[in-house]
Each structure stands twice: as C-alpha cells, then as structure tokens.
Chain A
Amino acid sequence: MLATILQNIFNALQWGSFYSMIALGYCLVYGVLRLINFAHGDIFMTACYIAFFIASALLSTFVSGGSVVFVATLILTMIATALVGVTIERVAYRPLRKKGVNRLYVVITALMVGFILENGNLAFLGASSRRFPDILQKELWNFGPVTLTNLKVLVIVAAFVVFGVLQFIVKKTVFGMSMRAISYDKFAIPLMGIPVNRVITFTFALGSSLAAVAGILFGMSYPVLDPYMGMTIGWKAFIAAVVGGIGEISGAFLGGFILGFIEIFIAAFFPSSFKDLVSFVILLIILVIKPTGFFGFAKSTKI
C-alpha cells in the first residue's frame, strides 16, 4: 500500500508538471490581456512537432543523443514556438484588438486558431502518429519500492525551474512590471509611455516558449505524437489554471499539480474507469465553493 502511494506521488508529480507548465501559458496571456488563449493546447502540440523535427534533424547529424542534443533541441524549439505564438498574436488577435471588439470574439478566434493548427498539421503531415526520437539515454533508478527514470525527475525539476524563472521575470524585471501594469489598467498604461504591443508580443513569446518546454518533455515522456494530442490536455490544463486561480502565476502552477494529484489518486483508489468522472466532480465542487480559484482574486469582468 505504501509502495503504491509513494510511486503514485511521483506519477502525479510528473503528470501534474505537464498540466502546470501548460497552465502557466494560459495564465500569462490571461494575466496581461484577460484573454483565454484556447489555442494554447494546440501551440503545445505544434511545439511537440517542432521538437520532433529539430531533434530528428540533430540526431541524424550528430548520430547519438545526449544532453547537448537535448539542450540544442530545447533552445531551438523554444525560439521556433515563440515565433509561432507571436505570429498567431499578430495575425489573429491584434487586428481584433485594434478594432476594439468585445473580448468574446477574440476567445472564439482563439478556438478557431486551435482548429486551424490541428487541421493544418493533419493536412500537411498526415494523420499517422509519429514516434518522438529518444534524445536522452533512459536510466532506471530503483529506490526500494519506487521506480523512477531520469526523464521523470527531469520533468518534475523542469516544472519547478520554469515556475521559478517565470516568477523572477514577472516580479523582478522591467518587462514583468509592464506586464503587471497592463493587466492592472490597460487604458492608462499607454499614456505612461509603456509600449503595450511590444509587451504583449513578449508575453506571447514567453507563453509559447513555456509550451515548447512542456512539448519537448512531453514528447520524450509519451513519444507517440498525433495532431489532436494537445486538445484534451490543453482543456484540462485550462481547468487546472482556473481552479488554481488563473490570474496568478502560483495559482496556475499549483492548479496543475492539484489536477495531476486528483487524477492519479482517484484512479489509484477507485476503479480507473471513474477517473475523469470523479476528478471533474471534485474540481466542480472546488469551483462552486471558491469561484476565483485558490489564489485568484475577485474581478468584476471575466470573459
């Protein structure tokens, strides 16, 4: 029993890490624009595919994997995905924002961008699943009853590092301060000489590169890629962000782990066929009791 619980704590930490990293992306964009970027799950999927192509190219050049290839793939994927995110913002969201339309239309646009990414992938790359290459040599570590892999530990560590870096950027840098300022009052801030569009571009770049970190690690952990892989996990991460409190970085981060732990431990003690049912009933109860999430703050207008 103890062995099962210990092992499941690590399973939940790994699974929750992915929700957290994706939820942070939702949170960033929401924090600045009050926009729920529903395309984020599909940006995550796109990142997986970008990482797949970069890693395959690197592996065919350098023959064997290893940490150098991993770091190179990580950096290149982050840059490429950031470009994807910024392009989406330029093409789909900024024109609407300029026209000053209701936020609802931007959210619908985000949903459409998600479908475009999915179906674009389907049209150009075909429906066949792809195998993500093994970048790192897998190692199995046994600690008594608990079995871990180096990858599992890497995923968990990465989630915390990402959170730390993000906290630093938002709380300690000029850009972070601008982001918070825009979130606070988007009408007065341009008058202060803060380049709003540039900050928004930076926010999308940052959010998308987070999705890239999640994407590459996800590809390594669950190495079968398909065009719809981002949909369900994206929605669930969004729910996690809301449960944690979507306007707050620590809220979204914690929300991811809450959902990871709920899902894993429900399946551990109930029949696994009840997993999603019971998980979402619990999340619903949490939201009914505390609609702003654990760390959220009351806002008069949400979308």
Chain B
Amino acid sequence: MKKVLIAGCLLLLSLSMVMAGGGSDQTIKIGLNIPLTGDSPKVGEGAKYASEIVQKELEAAGGLDVKGKKYKVQFVIVDNELKADSAVQAALRLVVQDQVLAVMGPCGSGRAIPAGQVNNENRTPMVSPWATNPAVTLNRPYVFRACILDPVQAPAAVNFAGSQFPQAKKTAILYNLDDDYSKTLAELFRDSWTKSNGSGSVVAFESFGQKDQDFSVQLTRIINAGADLLYLPDYYNHVALIIPQAKDLGWGNKPILGSDSWGSADLVSLSNGAVKGYYFTTHYAAAGAVGATKAFIDKYKAAYGYTPDDVAALSYDSIHIILQAIQTAGITGNLQTDRDGIKNAIATMKNFDGITGKMTFDANGDPEKPAVVVRVNDAGEFEYVTSM
C-alpha cells in the first residue's frame, strides 16, 4: 500500500514537473465573435478557418514570440448567430467571463456597431475584419477594423460605373432595411450617384426585409422606372434570389453592381451562376493573387477545399494585427494594462503588411486602403479588375 502511495506521489510530481517544464505555461486568449449559425454562416466559417490556419502557423513556430518568450495562443470562439443582441452577449462573455486580451469580430456592421460599444466601454481592443460602416469605430479608441469603409466603397462603385458603363445614367438601388450595413451603403451610393449624375438620376430606391424571399414588386418598380443599372448592397443569400428574379421580370442584360457582402464562396453556387459577369467592390481578389496572399489561399484551399473569400482573408489579417500588437506591447500579466498596450500598439501601427494590402491606422482606427473592383468571371471566380 505504501509503495503504491509513493509511486502515485512520484507520478504526480513528475507530471507537474513536465507541465512546468513545457515552457509555455501562459496562454494568450483571443476572442472570436463570429456568426457560425444564422442567415450567413459562411461568413463565420471563413473567419473560423482563418483562425485555424493562424493556429497551425503558431504551432509550427512553437507559439507566439513576445519579447523573447513563447506564448501559446488560444482562440475562444463564440457564435453571434448574425444577431445584434447575440453579438452584444458574445462580446460581454468574451470580455468578462473568458477574460480575453483582444477580440476579433463581429464581422458585419449590423453586429459590430453594438458589440463595438461593449468592447469600448470595457476597454478591450476589438478588430472587426469586415464591418464597413463608419459608426463601428467612430469615437471608440478601442475599436479598429481591417477593411475599407462604406464612404470609400460607395463612391468607388459610382466611379467605376461611370467609367465601365458610361451609358448608364439612371440607377436603381435595392437594399435590406433590417441591416445597417446595407442601408448605409445604399444611402451613400444614392448621394454619390446623384452628385455625379444630377438630381433625379436615382429612379428607384427600394428596400426589403431580412426574411423576404419575394422581391417581385420592388423589381417591377425598378424595371418600369427605366433604370440602366441596379445597385445591390446586399448579402449573397439575398443576391442569389434577387438576380434570377430580376431576370425573370425582364431586367435583361443591363448591368448589376454589388458591394463587398457579395464576396462569399457561396455566392456563385447559391445563385446557380446567375451572378456571372457582374461586378462588385471589395477588399481583395483571390484570382491572380501573389506572395503571402497566394500562400494563404493555397493553405486554405488545401485544408478546406475552396477558395477563401474576403472575410477569411480579412479575419486572417485582423488576427495578425492583434498578434503583432501583442508582440509590440508585450505581456505584463495585468489584464487591463495588456489590453491598453495592445490598443496603443494597433493605433500606432505603421504599414502593417497584410495579405489584403498594407495598413496604417488613422485617428479613428480605420486603415487607409483602396477599394478593389472584381468581376465574377465565367468560371465563377472573383477576378481582379481595378483598384479605385
């Protein structure tokens, strides 16, 4: 009996020594506030897979090197179901319960605006990969983003339409009333279009609800208003329904222009190819990428079997922005000091070399980057056209 006891004690002792000797006894926790269920789960999937790729890179390097010491990084993933209230809950959970150092996400503006408030009030740095609405970072020193803003994206779309479709003078807009992102972008596009084509050149400004599936009445009005171009600042699941219905009602071959919310891997399959030939403004183009961008795309494709969309690429960049900030600021062990350090490091970051472009953050916490215009080519790939 005594022998067993001694053996047990020895075993425990050796185990604890092994654990202590492992080196990385400290773990850095980073929260992911992303939509894994809800209306566009592909968005959350891309973000999650991007974090898995970062995780693999870190494992290969033996952990994150912060001022000469290796740390293990743990991603705490919370599903926000693509709902504003759930995103707020998720943000609170990550900040208070899980005590993460920083949060990546929510992805879209509808969730990032309310969740950003929570993160800012709790003085926890947050980087949204994909939220393009100005309100996300406005007057919130702890909130940053890795993508271009709607006030950049909308005029870029108008300018592109002007050069690509000079015959299009009258435009129609169909947006999602339930989504801050879609509504704001629609208004910015309307104002920008009116500025360059004169008043009355926006002939239809129509909306629908999140759960709507039938858009026939809005499209009938758009078609009969004599619009030359249709702007759809909507999510891919709506776009996949709207475009075939527009064609069924007699839209014909007139151009349709979209925004970065089109850029999902599911867009082409859900619309059964109906989106081919149309253009949208976004953050990066997978077809024809080089360097680190290509390396990321190849890794992602090999692991998950499809080309990563822009949310995945921007999530990858967002996580790396946080990691680089941690490396710059260092780890003291005091949660609030570390969170403040990360915030300051991101705010002063110069020319962060991301796979979606170089980023330097302005006073609002927004990166200075151009918008990329891509075309859905016949193979269903998103092909680079120009930068505006």
Contacts and interface: CB of A to CB of B under 8 A. Distances in A.
A140 B39 CA distance: 30
Contact of B211 (A138, A232, A275): A232
Interface stretch (B217-225, B287-295, B346-354): B217-225
Given A11-B216, A268-B217, 10 more contacts: A7-B249, A122-B37, A128-B42, A129-B39, A131-B270, A145-B224, A226-B237, A264-B216, A265-B217, A272-B217
Given A7-B220, A127-B38, A272-B218, A138 B272 contact: no
Contacts of B206: 272
B217 A228 contact: no
Contacts of A142: 250
B208 interface: yes
5 cross-chain pairs, A with B, having the tightest CB-CB distances, nearest first: A11-B216, A127-B41, A147-B250, A127-B37, A222-B213
A205 B266 CA distance: 35
Interface string B25-53: 00000000000111111100100000000
Nearest to A265: B217
Interface of B: 36-42, 45, 177, 206-209, 211, 213-214, 216-218, 220-221, 224, 237, 240-241, 244, 247-250, 266, 269-272
Nearest to A131: B270
Contacts of B249: 7, 147
Nearest to A142: B250
Contacts of A12: 217
B209 A276 contact: yes
Given A128-B266, A226-B237, A8 B217 contact: yes
A15 B42 contact: no
A116 interface: no
Nearest to A266: B217
Interface of A: 3-4, 7-8, 11-12, 14-15, 122, 126-129, 131, 134, 138, 140, 142, 145, 147, 149, 152, 218, 222-224, 226, 228-229, 231-233, 263-265, 267-268, 271-273, 275-276
Contacts of A228: 39, 211
23 contacts: A4-B221, A12-B217, A14-B216, A15-B214, A127-B37, A128-B45, A129-B40, A129-B237, A129-B270, A140-B248, A140-B250, A145-B224, A218-B213, A222-B213, A223-B244, A231-B211, A232-B211, A265-B217, A268-B220, A268-B221, A272-B217, A272-B218, A273-B177
Contacts of B37: 122, 127
Contacts of A226: 39, 237
A286 to B, nearest CB: 21
B35 to A, nearest CB: 9
Contact of A131 (B39, B217, B272): B272
Contacts of A11: 214, 216-217, 220
